[in-house]
Amino acid sequence: MLSRAAMLLGGLLLAVATMIAAQRSGPEAAAQCQVHLVQSGPCSYTFVLPDPQLCPLGDPGSPDSLQRDVSPTAPSASLGAWRAQRMRQLEKALENSTLRLQKLERYIQMNLRSKLARAQQHMVQNQTAAMLELGSDILNETAARTSDVEAKVLNETSRLEVQMMETSLSTEELEKQLLQHSNELHRLQGRSSALETRLQALETQQQEDLASLREEKEQLRRLLGNHSGALAVLERSLRLASSNSSLLQMQQRQLLESVQRLVHVMAQGPAAPMRAPEQMFQDCAEIRRSGATADGVYTIRVANDSEPKKVFCGMESNGGGWTIIQRRVDGSEDFQRSWKEYKEGFGNPAGEYWLGNEAIHQLTSRATYSLRVELEDWEDQEAYAQYERFQLGSEAQLYRISVSGYSDSVGRQTGLFLRSANFSTRDADNDNCVCECAQLLSGGWWFDACGLSNLNGVYYRDGQHLRRMDGVRWQYFRGPGYSLRATRMMIRPVGG
């Protein structure tokens, strides 16, 4: 308010000064003065000012006039004197102006004080009214907004109350469900504890039963081992007795025939020649055709062999008449033999033995033979492999095996090479491998490149027969690392 009043006072002083200057200059100069507008905040004031070019400045020679700056023209005049004179003139003009302003101020205070007071009062009233109106508008707007806010707050409060009620109901329902679940959990925990106790009791009982069963199994295994040994001995004894019985029957029959012939010869007279009858068989098929039907050890005479050979004949299974050329039953015979021993044969025909490569060659050279291989593991499982055509070459041919027409009970592949292979021993390496399979896998066999079988390997007993590559093995029956319990190889003429 004071700045606005000061500005108004300054404008009035300027207007009065202009009017006085215009009156002093005359009516024409006053008519040519300009009109100026002074803006002070929201209020504006209009003042009439003379044009600076038309309003005269007065007589230069009068004491109330301000002389123009005039530089000295005389070259001999001193610049300092001129400046001093100029300063005195300016001081005189400033003093005259100050007197005029004081006179003007006294005039304004005397003539315009009441108008200024009324103007200020009117301005204060206008501003007060404007402020009151503005305050009223603000109050109305505030009241309206407050009403809207109160309504919104009431609506939101109602909504929150409803939500709180719903939440409270949901919380109560959840608390009920939680209580029910807690009760159910306690009940289940009780049942679980009871079941755990019962399970522990059952586990203890099962462990006790398992220990008892293991002990009984061990006893049964020991008993079975003892019985198995006794049964094996008894079986060998029975086979020997049966074989001896068959031989005895044949000898009795031959003796009876000899006696009958002798009686017949004696009845004809002393001139009749006496011949001692002698009948020898070339293989077990001929022995069977002669009437023998029991498994056992028999005597045969192989062609080109001066001495008869003892063989075991299979008369009771698969049509009978089988000549056993290889047999493994208990590991009693050492099969780590030389080339000569495999050529001539070794072992006991009543137990484990190898007939001899030369005898097998002579037999399979005079007729067409088939080969049957019978296998048995330590779990009493049996399998066989049969070849419709089997032949063994001469010693010059390294006893080369030739087989064809394969069939078996395993349903996989042959354990012997169908393209044939030479026989090898530890002192005669005739295989197709630089590793010397007979040295690596032991025994004598048709190894080729160490092959898929070796029934003449090391005999490993029960409990030691697993993961044995040099054992008694047939790859497609129980795998390459399983050493079998019993094997036998037997031949018979085709159609015999």
CA distance linking residue 125 with residue 123, whole number of Å: 5
Indicate the pLDDT class of residue 276, thresholds 50, 70 and 90. very low
pTM for the complete prediction? 0.47
CA atoms within 13 A on the CB side of 270: 0
Domain membership of residue 115 (yes or no) is no
Weakest-pLDDT range from 116-130, 336-350, 458-472: 116-130
CA distance linking residue 473 with residue 456, whole number of Å: 9
Strand pairing partners for 421? 401
Domain membership of residue 258 (yes or no) is no
Total number of domains in the chain: 1
Domain membership of residue 201 (yes or no) is no
Q: Let me know: does 361 contact 345? Beta carbons within 8 Å.
A: no
Strand pairing partners for 392? 401
pLDDT at 13 (0 to 100): 60
Q: Let me know: does 483 contact 472? Beta carbons within 8 Å.
A: yes
pLDDT in tens, 287-306: 999 888 899 999 998 887 77
CA distance linking residue 128 with residue 451, whole number of Å: 125
Residue 427: give the domain boundaries.
284-493
Where is mean pLDDT largest: 45-54, 189-198, 316-325? 316-325
Residue pointed to by tokens 């109305």: 140
pLDDT in tens, 429-463: 998 888 888 888 889 999 988 888 999 999 999 88
412: domain CATH number? 3.90.215.10
Domain membership of residue 344 (yes or no) is yes
Domain membership of residue 330 (yes or no) is yes
Where is mean pLDDT largest: 74-78, 119-123, 315-319, 409-413? 315-319
Number of separate helices (H) and strands (E) present in the chain: 8, 13
Q: Which of 418, 205, 455, 496 is closest to 329 using CA atoms? A: 455
Q: Let me know: does 355 contact 326? Beta carbons within 8 Å.
A: yes
Domain membership of residue 218 (yes or no) is no
* Strand pairing class (369-376; 353-354): unpaired
Domain membership of residue 153 (yes or no) is no
Average pLDDT of every residue of the chain: 79
Cβ of 494: how many Cβ atoms within 10 Å? 12
Q: Which of 156, 183, 185, 180 is closest to 172 using CA atoms? A: 180
Domain membership of residue 245 (yes or no) is no
CA distance linking residue 320 with residue 384, whole number of Å: 16
